[in-house]
């Protein structure tokens, strides 16, 4: 019963935001407000050869990544974006999500780690920025160039709100049905796997290789705590920093290594998130690509820092 309860608590947050995201993109399009909202991110979409609707999704990701990606799925289902553009736009949306983590991370980092915490957060933001830049560059190469509308000269007329809302709800029915039919069973299955200990076994396997990594022996305690809880890891790191056992630089390296190793733990949430929004096949492909890029950049960052160190 507990996996079922946990799954539906998760769904109670994710599904409404996804559905609202789909309705919102249709509503803004029907109200002819798209141009007014996407001008600020036009340089980003233009560089990656993405359409303006993807820019709206990028803006939405600052508030709700799931709603932003639900917008993209809606565009994909309507045939307005292809698979390549969907992938580029979705991975680009990960940057606002990382940037907005400051709301939950900085209140923990600053009291526990001070400037070291800020430096670690800045490193994660930089990695996210590089990931987005890399994906946009791929989009610039792979996606066809498009002619963008002149936002400043376009005469925009706004339809009445009520008819636009009714049209938006009608347009959103098919994708909302798909979200519900796929997201719920995938999420429930994933939480049952968690309850059966499938992810714990993977975590135990990864924890055993920590001693072979190029980090101080004292850092093993931090990574061990990261497998259980990130706040616990920051608390352990704070104690080692205050006592002078590890320097701030060493702690950042250890936390980054822990980030790489504990990524397997995040699968318990990433699987229902990606597959619930994008479907099993697209979701799995997108999750693997996104994780591979991030992990590659994390490894590269650690290698550079260790070489400098």
What residue segments make up the domains of the chain, in order of their start?
2-308
Give pLDDT < 50 ranges for the chain. 153
Distance CA 117, CA 123 (A): 10
Q: What is the pLDDT of residue 294?
A: 93
Specify the DSSP element, H or E, that contains 161: helix 161-195
35's CB contacts (< 8 A; 6+ apart) are 52, 149, 151, 154, 156
94 with 69: CB under 8 angstroms? no
Q: What is the pLDDT of residue 153?
A: 46
Residue 57 neighbours by CB distance under 10 Å = 32
Distance CA 29, CA 24 (A): 8
223 with 246: CB under 8 angstroms? no
Dihedral class, residue 87 (left if φ above 0, else alpha if ψ from -120 to 50, else beta): alpha
The DSSP result for 41-75, as a single string, is GHHHHHHTT--HHHHHHHHHHTT-HHHHHHHHHHH
Q: What is the pLDDT of residue 103?
A: 65
pLDDT tens digit sequence for 144-201: 987 766 655 455 566 788 888 888 788 777 767 767 777 778 777 777 776 776 656 6
Q: What is the pLDDT of residue 36?
A: 65
Q: What is the pLDDT of residue 286?
A: 94
pTM over 0.85: no
């Amino acid at each position: 019963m507990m996996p079922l309860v946990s799954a539906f608590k998760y769904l109670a947050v994710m599904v409404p935001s996804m559905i609202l995201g789909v309705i919102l993109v249709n509503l803004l399009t029907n109200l002819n407000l798209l141009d007014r909202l996407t001008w600020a991110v036009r340089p980003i979409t233009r560089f990656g050869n993405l359409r303006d609707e993807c820019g709206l999704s990028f803006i939405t990701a600052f508030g709700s990544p799931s709603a932003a990606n639900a917008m993209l799925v809606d565009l994909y289902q309507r045939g307005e974006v292809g698979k390549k553009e969907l992938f580029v736009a979705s991975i680009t949306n990960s940057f606002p999500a990382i940037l907005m983590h400051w709301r939950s991370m900085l209140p923990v980092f600053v009291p526990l780690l001070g400037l070291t915490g800020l430096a670690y957060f800045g490193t994660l933001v930089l990695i996210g920025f590089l990931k987005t830049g890399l994906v946009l560059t791929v989009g610039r190469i792979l996606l066809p160039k498009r002619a963008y509308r002149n936002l400043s000269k376009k005469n925009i007329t706004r339809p009445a709100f009520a008819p636009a809302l009714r049209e938006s709800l009608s347009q959103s029915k098919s994708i909302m049905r798909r979200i519900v039919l796929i997201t719920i069973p995938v999420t429930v299955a994933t939480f049952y796997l968690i309850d059966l200990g499938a992810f714990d076994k993977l975590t135990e396997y990864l924890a055993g290789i920590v001693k072979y990594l190029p980090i101080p022996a004292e850092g093993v305690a931090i990574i061990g705590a990261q497998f259980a809880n990130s706040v616990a890891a920051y608390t352990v790191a704070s104690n080692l920093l205050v006592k002078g056992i590890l320097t701030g630089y060493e702690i950042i390296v250890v936390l980054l290594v822990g980030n790489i190793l504990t990524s397997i733990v995040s699968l318990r949430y990433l699987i229902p998130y990606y597959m619930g929004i994008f479907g099993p096949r697209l979701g799995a492909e997108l999750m693997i690509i996104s994780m591979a890029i991030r992990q590659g950049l994390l490894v590269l960052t650690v290698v550079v820092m260790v070489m400098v160190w």
